[in-house]
Amino acid sequence: MSILTSSPSSISELVYDYKLPKKYELFRDALREFLRVHIANSVDYYDSREEFPVENIQKFAKHGYMGIPIPERYGGAELGEFGYGLAVQEIGKVCSSHGTIIGAHTGLCCVPIWLFGTEEQRNQYLPELTSGKKLGAFALTEPQAGSDAANIRTTAKAEGNHFLINGTKQFITNGDRAETIVVFAANDISLGPYGGITAFIVERSFGGIRTSKVEKKMGIRASTTAQLVFEDCKVPKENVLGRVGYGFLVALTSLDGGRASLSAGAVGGAEASLESVLDFLASRPSLRSDQAVQGMVADIAMEAHASRLVSYNSLHEVDGYFARIANQEKIPREEREVISRHTAMAKAFCSEVASRAAERALEIMGPEGYEEGSPVERGYRDSFIAEIYEGTNDIQRLVIARDLLGLS
């Protein structure tokens, strides 16, 4: 189904204005109200204490927001990547820490299990994740392998009916709290990324997983980012996600979705900056009539608007792409590369717009924005992470350029 209105009354409506079908509109409005009533008032509390918002995540679970893109038969809301992106946008408007926690759980743990899991794996793992009984994480990055994700050194050695996983994973969102972790390990380093890396569904209860560090961060302080050490973590063979040697594709595909939804979170961040500025200027008539200020307001609004369109297009594309993968359709490599290029563009563009919007908002509001507790101050600290995680924007630019130059 198209996300666009079924009968656009004009080209401008088709091109410039996403008229959401009723189900998305109702979902977004309900989520907005949920965030306003149950979440917004406490986000500064958790951020200032650098505390994981356990109670808030339980509220997300209670209201059915822990498996938005996942089909209903696995306990999800069955709203696909587009509906999920709309949710990340709304959450991003309120708090990027919460968006990060929900994003790692949903986009990087539930989604790969939905896309690549066997029916048994989906039935075993998704209901407890989508209901929020368990929290999910995605462990790809290692001390020497982030930008160069193919360089992972965590090993998975086959022994009888299980694999033994050994190695260190770094900067893992929800890493110290998640009960279910999608982990990437080298089954055979000599084979390189395609053939040599396998994805696993790992339960913390398997043992052999130790949290060795929890990072202190400049922003998204209510989310946790942990280093995990795997020491002879024994994973049953039936917990291979996809096929042995197929893990790099699982990771890259998951990150396509992650980047599209991350772009939507950044749109939410830019919109929040704009709203803060408009609220502030409502009581500052002299500033409101200042042309330099007007120019900055226009720039924030213009870029936020453009980023919304880029993000929605990317979400729409990934929505269809993921539905086909979940149906076991084989997608040609060229098509996959176009999707990756577009999600890389959306991620890099929207995250940079959000950072610029936060900076301009701070500039306009001056001391009032700079004060601790101001949404602009938190927004400024929180926004830059979207330029870093799920592949830095330097790496997104490599993805884009290499595809265009035929170098990938």
Ligand X SMILES: Cc1cc2nc3c(=O)[nH]c(=O)nc-3n(C[C@H](O)[C@H](O)[C@H](O)COP(=O)(O)OP(=O)(O)OC[C@H]3O[C@@H](n4cnc5c(N)ncnc54)[C@H](O)[C@@H]3O)c2cc1C
**Complex with ligand X: residue 225 or 374, whichever CB lies closer:** 225
CA dist 92 and 303 (Å) reads 16
Q: Applying CB under 6 A, which of residues 27, 34, 138, 200 lies at the interface with ligand X?
A: 138
To the nearest whole angstrom, how small is the minimum distance from the Cβ of residue 47 to ligand X?
14
**Complex with ligand X: residue 166 or 392, whichever CB lies closer:** 392
8 Å CB contact between 113 and 129: yes
Q: Applying CB under 6 A, which of residues 106, 168, 173, 263 lies at the interface with ligand X?
A: 173
Q: Which stretch binds ligand X (CB under 6 A): 65-73, 171-179, 291-299, 375-383?
A: 171-179
* Cα angle value 17/358/319 (rounded, 5°): 40
Q: Which stretch binds ligand X (CB under 6 A): 64-72, 79-87, 140-148, 305-313?
A: 140-148
For residue 34, state whether it binds ligand X (rule: CB under 6 A).
no
Contact mark string toward ligand X, 96..125, x via CB under 6 A: --------x---------------------
Q: Applying CB under 6 A, which of residues 140, 156, 262, 310 lies at the interface with ligand X?
A: 140
CA dist 95 and 77 (Å) reads 22
**Complex with ligand X: residue 146 or 265, whichever CB lies closer:** 146
Q: Which stretch binds ligand X (CB under 6 A): 37-45, 80-88, 229-237, 391-399?
A: 391-399
CA dist 392 and 347 (Å) reads 9
Q: Which stretch binds ligand X (CB under 6 A): 5-13, 38-46, 88-96, 394-402?
A: 394-402
**Complex with ligand X: residue 30 or 398, whichever CB lies closer:** 398
**Complex with ligand X: residue 143 or 295, whichever CB lies closer:** 143
Q: Is the dihedral of CA 351, 354, 358, 360 positive or negative?
A: positive
Residue carrying structure tokens 């189904």: 1
Q: Which two tokens stand for residue 44?
A: 């500064």
Contact mark string toward ligand X, 328..367, x via CB under 6 A: ----------------------------------------
To the nearest whole angstrom, how small is the minimum distance from the Cβ of residue 223 to ligand X?
7
Residues binding ligand X: what is the number (CB under 6 A)?
Answer: 21
Q: How many CB atoms lie within 10 A of CB 305?
A: 15
For residue 203, state whether it binds ligand X (rule: CB under 6 A).
no
CA dist 336 and 99 (Å) reads 26
**Complex with ligand X: residue 229 or 278, whichever CB lies closer:** 229
To the nearest whole angstrom, how small is the minimum distance from the Cβ of residue 58 to ligand X?
21
Residue carrying structure tokens 């079924």: 6
Nearest to 312 by CA among 84, 64, 35, 105: 84
**Catalytic sites, residue numbers:** 390
CA dist 271 and 312 (Å) reads 14
CA dist 293 and 47 (Å) reads 29
Phi, psi angle pair for 173, to nearest 5°:
-60, 135
For residue 139, state whether it binds ligand X (rule: CB under 6 A).
yes
For residue 392, state whether it binds ligand X (rule: CB under 6 A).
yes
CA dist 357 and 368 (Å) reads 16
Q: Applying CB under 6 A, which of residues 106, 141, 263, 374 lies at the interface with ligand X?
A: 141
For residue 389, state whether it binds ligand X (rule: CB under 6 A).
yes
CA dist 103 and 174 (Å) reads 10
For residue 52, state whether it binds ligand X (rule: CB under 6 A).
no
Q: Could you give the C-alpha distances from 392 to 385, 387, 389, in angstroms and in order? A: 9, 6, 6
**Complex with ligand X: residue 69 or 391, whichever CB lies closer:** 391
**Complex with ligand X: residue 141 or 314, whichever CB lies closer:** 141
CA atoms lying within 13 Å on the CB side of residue 158: 13
> Which bin fits 168, alpha (ψ -120 to 50), beta or left (φ > 0)?
beta
Residue nearest to ligand X (CB): 146
Q: Applying CB under 6 A, which of residues 96, 106, 198, 225 lies at the interface with ligand X?
A: 225
For residue 146, state whether it binds ligand X (rule: CB under 6 A).
yes
Residue carrying structure tokens 């996983």: 165
CA dist 126 and 106 (Å) reads 10
Q: What is the DSSP letter of 219?
A: S
Q: How many CB atoms lie within 10 A of CB 273?
A: 31
Query: Which residues of this protein are in contact with ligand X, per CB under 6 A?
Result: 104, 138-141, 146-147, 171-173, 217, 225, 385, 388-392, 394-395, 398
